[in-house]
């Protein structure tokens, strides 16, 4: 993270989610028939923690542990 900008890099996926402990869920999706390997999200920093979820074209998910923002 650089300030409140979170950059995620991963293998080729269709969707990258940032799930918060609040009611927010940030999402970047690839264009139809394409994939993405990087996404940037501007976080509000009001949430206690975030989790990352990367989903490939076959519907398989890679989930991170919680990352605590205030610590």
Structure confidence by residue, pLDDT tens digits, 3-47: 889 999 999 999 999 999 887 899 999 999 999 999 999 988 788
pLDDT at 71: 55
Q: Summarize the confidence of residues 60-65 as an average pLDDT.
A: 97
Q: Summarize the confidence of residues 36-64 as an average pLDDT.
A: 94
Single pTM value for the model? 0.89
Q: How far apart are CA 17 and CA 26, in angstroms?
A: 6
Q: How far apart are CA 8 and CA 56, in angstroms?
A: 15
């Amino acid at each position: 993270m650089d300030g409140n900008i979170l950059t995620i890099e991963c293998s080729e996926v269709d969707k990258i989610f940032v799930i918060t402990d609040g009611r927010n869920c940030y999402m970047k999706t690839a264009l139809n028939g394409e994939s993405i390997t990087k996404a940037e999200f501007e976080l509000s920093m009001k949430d206690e923690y975030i989790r990352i979820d990367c989903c490939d074209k076959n519907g398989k998910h890679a989930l991170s542990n919680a990352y605590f923002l205030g610590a």
